[in-house]
Amino acid sequence: MIFVSNYFFTFLLSSLKGLVEFIFSNSCSLGCDNLSSAARF
């Protein structure tokens, strides 16, 4: 059960990171400073 939870958490974290990077790369021209501040958090 713990192994499944860890695997799911890792997968979720990777998906979230990929989504953030995708949005960041596509929206950088709109407001890099604001996105950088949000990404740093």
pLDDT of residue 5: 87
pLDDT of residue 28: 59
pLDDT of residue 41: 52
Q: Are 35 and 24 in contact (CB under 8 A)?
A: yes
pLDDT of residue 14: 94
What are the per-10-residue average pLDDT scores of the chain (41 residues)? 82 92 71 59 52
DSSP assignment string, 13-27 = HHHHHHHHHHHHHHH
C-alpha distance across the termini of the chain, in Å: 31
Cβ of 32: how many Cβ atoms within 10 Å? 12
